Each structure stands twice: as structure tokens, then as C-alpha cells.
Copies of this chain bind each other. A is one copy, B any other.
Amino acid sequence: MPQRRLSELESFVLGLVWRHGPLTAYEIRRLLAQSPSTQWTASAGSIYPLVARLERSRHLKSALERNGRRSRRNYALTPLGHAALQSWIGPPLDEQAITVTHDPLRSRARFLAALTPSQRRRWVDAALEALVEVERRVDAWHALHASAGDPFAALVTRHGQLDLAFRRAWLREVRAAGSGAVSRPASARRGAQP
């Protein structure tokens, strides 16, 4: 067995199966869809091949459960899967876990000088509006986990709340920075620092 490194999604699925007991691929998809992160689509096309892969690599084992004519395939963690989960969590932390969080708003803000001052003001408003929608998602997630009593699930909510607070504070600074007149860059060409 080649034992290649598991992807983030694969590892996360191991975590879900560990945490929520034997699960069908369908249930895994639902859990993923409820997650506040939009990182993955949780489409059938990703999950069904993924669990099949994890079973072939002995991280998951499955059992067919038959209720009348309908059947469901339950996936459970193997000891190998449990070890893989722990090693994914760390320590040591995988290199790819050491990142500045990626924020599409930040990516766009970098080029705000391409807009007029009034467009920039409207951009900040739209971004703050967008965060209201994000807040709704975090709250929805929180509602699902409020009763559970798992302190680590609560930390996901907490992360979302702190994230929102920080990005709102940042957007206020963006508004301030955008108010002053900013001209198109002088395109210093070759010597330009990035």
C-alpha cells in the first residue's frame, strides 16, 4: 500500500465519522453542507468516490444495513483511520495548516484603487452586507450545536464570531483608507515592488 497523504477533505470526513458514529455517505454530505465553511460543495461526485477510496485504503470500513427493501451503507472508522485522524490534527501541524486565512474580500480590497471613491464606499457597504449573510450561517451552525455539549463544536461558532468581528473592524479601516483620493498607480514598471 502506497499510503499517500490524505487530503484536507478526506481527513475532515474521517473526523466527522469519528465524531458522529457510523455514517452513510449521504449523511456525511449533509454534515458537510451544514458546516459554515463553503470550502467544499459536498456533492455526491466528491463524497461517494472519497469514501470508496478511504475504504480501499482501510481508513474506513463499511457494513450494509438492510431495512426492508431500502439499504444504507454505514461507514465506520478503523484503527488506521483513527490514527490518520490524530496525525492529521497534529501536533506536529502539517505545513498546509500554517496559513494566513484566505479572504476573498481581502483579495478584492487589494485592487480597490481600480474603483472610484464612491464605488469604493459602495463596495465596503456591500462587504458589510455580505458579512450579515455570513453571520446568519454562523448562527445557523450554532443553533445546531448549542445543545450538544461538545466544547470543541462550540469553538467553531466562536471562531466564526471572532472572525466576523475582526473583518468588520478591518472593513471600517478599508472605508477610512478609501475615502481619501487615491489615483491610479504610476505603474513604475520594471523596478516596481509588488
A residues bordering B, Cβ < 8 Å?
Answer: 8, 12, 15-16, 18-22, 30-31, 34-39, 82, 85-86, 88-94, 96-115, 119, 122-123, 125-127, 130, 133-134, 137-138, 144-145, 147-148, 150-156, 158-160, 162-163, 165-167, 169-170, 173-174, 177-178, 180, 182, 185, 187-189, 192-194
**Shortest Cβ-Cβ A-B pairs, 3 listed:** A21-B187, A91-B126, A97-B104
In the assembled complex, the CB of A81 is this many whole angstroms from the nearest CB of chain B, namely: 11
Taking a contact as CB atoms closer than 8 A, the residue among B16, B18, B152, B169 that contacts A162 in the complex is B169
- CB of B15 within 8 A of CB of A114, answer yes
CA distance A162 to B88 in the complex (A): 27
- CB of A89 within 8 A of CB of B123, answer yes
**Set of chain B residues within 8 Å of A112, measured between Cβ atoms:** 89, 152
**Set of chain B residues within 8 Å of A151, measured between Cβ atoms:** 177-178, 180, 182
- CB of A108 within 8 A of CB of B100, answer no
